Amino acid sequence: MNNTRRRFIKSGLLGSAAVAAGCSTEVSLDDDVQTAAWRPLRILILGGTGFIGPHMVKEALRRGHEVELFNRGKTDSELFPDLKLYVGDRKNGLESLEGGEWDAVVDNSGYVPRYVEESARLLAPAISHYLFISTISVYGDFSQPIDEDTAVGTLEDESVEEVTGETYGPLKAMCEQRVVSEVGAARTTILRPTYICGPGDRTDRYSYWPVRTMRGGEMLWPGTPDDNIQIIDVRDLANFTVDCLEMKINGVYNTVTPKGAFKMGTLLEDCLAVTGADTTPTWVSTEFINSNEVGASGGLPIWEDPNGESSQLLTVDGSRAAAAGLKNRPTRETARDTISWWKTLPADRTASLRAGLSPEREAELLASWHDRND
């Protein structure tokens, strides 16, 4: 990035990002960074072996940075045999990190405010920059337009630590606040991704669509081709994460595909194009979906009723991150690479999808739809 661009970021956008994080608007890019030559960073990743972590590790290594990991050694422990691993559990043991020093930490595995606070407190003197992976679920009301200044959700009882569908968002919001208060806003970046997808996704929420399309036959599609959806390709998130570390971009950023740019119809076109499958879509009405309770949490992942109480979940404003450098690859590339990755998985993993309609349920719904409408 050239200096002109850096100055633009400093004077224009990150100020408002900092306000959203409860930060001073004075600080955006580190003054050192504006003139310093690129240098390799020493990066610690809390949770580098889940879904998103490995993409960040690989991107940071590809750019010449040094990466170290902290986790329990339970998940994919064979993935990075050459990287230094500090073994520990965030819940009861950060000792292995004591005495270490890093330029930056990426926190992928923070869900409970108390544990995030403990790691942020321990690491604050040992790092220059703390990047916390949060979520758009932090927002309190999805019926209104959302940008980074929208109020976050809260818990009536702030001592709750159990992560459930209801508490996940407010807990992540509290985690964000704890990082800012321990590390300081000027050294903190908070990324709020929407549905993260692409190779390695263990939820199958996005993967359902291309993988189901690949099976062929008549396929149920909810709502209309014009309904908005939003995703973030895990590799785009990883690229932006490393950009933020390299350029010391601080503040709060929604990390999403551009608002209004990705539609259910585009997803269908992507799925058909990358699978070449003989699949016939049948679009069923939102009313039919609602009456059968098969919306986003009931069988049709990612899609939302455009007039429902979460209608704005899939039209989050991501312009601040885009202006700071987040680049979204074409969604077709995400579909293509998801299918390529899926084909490499063992049969016991691909035998059934972890999200989406089962073949039986889909057939039942389609039969019911045709009964009513044909």
Ligand X SMILES: NC(=O)c1ccc[n+]([C@@H]2O[C@H](COP(=O)([O-])OP(=O)(O)OC[C@H]3O[C@@H](n4cnc5c(N)ncnc54)[C@H](OP(=O)(O)O)[C@@H]3O)[C@@H](O)[C@H]2O)c1
- 75 contributes a contact to ligand X by CB under 6 A: yes
Binding residue for ligand X (CB under 6 A) from 90, 187, 235, 259? Answer: 90
Provide the β-strand partners of residue 129.
104
Residue 114 in tokens: 């108390």
Helix (H, G, I), strand (E, B) or coil at 304: coil
Of 52 and 183, the one with the shorter C-beta distance to ligand X is 52
Of 193 and 222, the one with the shorter C-beta distance to ligand X is 193
* Smallest distance from ligand X to CB 222, Å: 19
Hey, what amino acid is at 78?
A: E
Q: Which stretch binds ligand X (CB under 6 A): 70-78, 240-248, 310-318, 337-345?
A: 70-78
Hey, what amino acid is at 231?
A: I
Of 294 and 316, the one with the shorter C-beta distance to ligand X is 316
Query: Other CB atoms closer than 10 Å to residue 346's CB: what's the count?
Result: 7
Binding residue for ligand X (CB under 6 A) from 27, 52, 238, 294? Answer: 52
Q: How far apart are CA 227 and CA 223, in angstroms?
A: 7
* Smallest distance from ligand X to CB 88, Å: 6
- 51 contributes a contact to ligand X by CB under 6 A: yes
Binding residue for ligand X (CB under 6 A) from 64, 73, 276, 330? Answer: 73
Binding residue for ligand X (CB under 6 A) from 142, 195, 240, 342? Answer: 195
Hey, what amino acid is at 124?
A: A
Provide the β-strand partners of residue 143.
none
**Interface mask toward ligand X for 274-313; x: CB under 6 A:** ----------------------------------------
Of 233 and 288, the one with the shorter C-beta distance to ligand X is 233
Q: Which stretch binds ligand X (CB under 6 A): 191-199, 304-312, 317-325, 359-367?
A: 191-199
Distances (CA, A) of 62 to 44, 201, 242: 15, 21, 11
DSSP letters for 20-58 = HTT--SS-SS-HHHHHSPP---EEEEES-SSSHHHHHHH
Residue 201 in tokens: 């996704």
